Amino acid sequence: MGKRVAIYPGSFDPPTEGHLNIVKRSVQIFDEVIVAVSESIHKKYMFGPAERVAIWKSLLKDVPRTKVDTFRGLLVDYVRGKGTNIILRGLRNVTDFEYEIQMATTNRVLNDKIETVFIMTEGTYSHIAASLIKEVVSMGGSAKGMVPRLVEKELRKKILESNKK
């Protein structure tokens, strides 16, 4: 059997403790996990792709068998280009499941070799959403326990910059 490489795709704007938890747990299952930061042109992001990659690289510097990359276009094409067929997704709740099952089914239609593996987020992270964190921090609240310290620092810096404009 070859090396089992999982692709963990997402916008990760910003990466949360829940995202990080999924990666740390998944390296116990897979030989390598690639965090694939999406470069969607349809979404407005707080952090650009290069910033999100840099944050992830800092967060994963001590986590073995992880890589960080970006992609644009169809995820199934990116996955195939990486020589794997495994997409890794985290689930927080039933709402996530309903969306993710649609995505997994669509990806299988596009490429019947693709397998999507779901890992449940630990309960302490099930309430965390990147959009909620951005709102909390923009209103001066603390995101402690929801995002790593580095992410909160970068978020505050980004919010200060946008408030100066």
pLDDT along the chain (165 residues), means of 10: 91 95 97 95 86 97 97 96 97 90 96 96 89 90 93 91 74
Domain that holds residue 103: 5-126
Q: What is the pLDDT of residue 1?
A: 61
Provide the CATH number for the domain around residue 89. Answer: 3.40.50.620
Task: Evaluate whether residue 89 is within a structural domain.
Answer: yes
What is the per-residue burial (b if ≥16 Cβ within 10 Å, else e) of 42-51? eeebbbebeb
Question: Edge-to-edge strand order for the sheet containing 5-10?
Answer: 66-71, 32-38, 5-10, 86-91, 115-120
Task: Evaluate whether residue 54 is within a structural domain.
Answer: yes
Task: Evaluate whether residue 101 is within a structural domain.
Answer: yes
pTM of the model: 0.93
3-state secondary structure of 105: helix
Number of domains in the chain: 1
Task: Evaluate whether residue 163 is within a structural domain.
Answer: no
